Structure 1
């Protein structure tokens, strides 16, 4: 499944890519440095994905679903919890027992979030938004991921207006840091 299409196809592709990284982490023995490399890649993808959802998906959920405010607020809370876990992973080496605990916690949080989105949120959104609206959202999400931050910023705002204002600058700083220090946070 490649990137493209409507917002649901785009975000589902992201989910599969992160799950693939989780599978690579789980397949390696505890302490293997490759686990940290795959965890760093997963975090980059998750941060970009989350920012794009907060900028475009959740405002659409608020607009199209009768209980959209409640649904979007819960999804944003899920993101905040996962972002705190990702931030905690930054300073932990693969050989540290804390790494195993944190990556396990992150996998559990993300898998529950993905199940909820794919089983409940996405079908509800598909039934209320037009295909044209979903396609436009897909384009916006792809564009947002290009400028989104690549590192967790749990204290950053998670509202659409603030994300649209701050994400490009924070994303640029993160990408400069990635070039200078690599995507890991060593």
Structure 2
């Protein structure tokens, strides 16, 4: 979280970080409790990442990219699907029979979303926006991730202004819960 660069570079770095968590999960045997720990860490990163995208990336896509509304709406649908899976996964332990199924589905959904963003959405946004604007969005995305929730909240708003108003408060509660439970600790 908080890698630096313009919004596209920031989000691609997040993608790589999440993929590292996924690869580690796949290396471990089914039922290994470290898989749950890694899934929690991936979820925390994905939720923060999604908040930044929803607050800054998708509004920019809507405004600057031809057919941006359709692109942004599809990406938000991907987020909603992944967030529902993460919410279900949150309630499972690594030895739960449903855990492996849910974590595989989540990784598949997220990997498809990443591939689409990197091959389609990011190049289109880059071609339509000046570098200084993308740099500014990168700074805003990094700031948003600092106060963003760390747990999935499928029923919260995913579009400005409501998401920008609610995310910091929900994030504070999530971080307090994480601190009390030790969730996400290395």
Give the TM-score normalised by structure 2.
0.97
The 2-side partners of 1:49 and 1:100 are apart by 23
Q: Corresponding residue for 2:88?
A: 88
**Cα-Cα RMSD:** 0.9
Task: Give 5+ residue unaligned stretches, structure 1.
Answer: none
Aligned to 1:177: 177
Structure 1 residues 27-42: aligned runs within 5 Å: 27-42=27-42
| 1:16 alignment partner, SS class | helix
The size of the alignment, in residue pairs, is 183
Q: How does 1:147-186 map to 2 (within 5 A)?
A: 147-183=147-183
CA drift at 1:153: 0.2
Moved over 2 A (4+): none
Alignment of 1:22-171 (within 5 A): 22-171=22-171
Deviation (angstroms), 1:181: 1.3
Deviations 1:12-42 (A, max 9, x none): 0000000000000000000000000000000
Distance 1:125 1:65 in 2: 6
Give 1:66 shift. 1.5
User: TM-score scaled to structure 1, two decimals?
Assistant: 0.97
User: Structure 2: where are the runs of 5+ without partners?
Assistant: none
Deviations 1:131-186 (A, max 9, x none): 000000000000000010000000111112111100010000000111111226xx
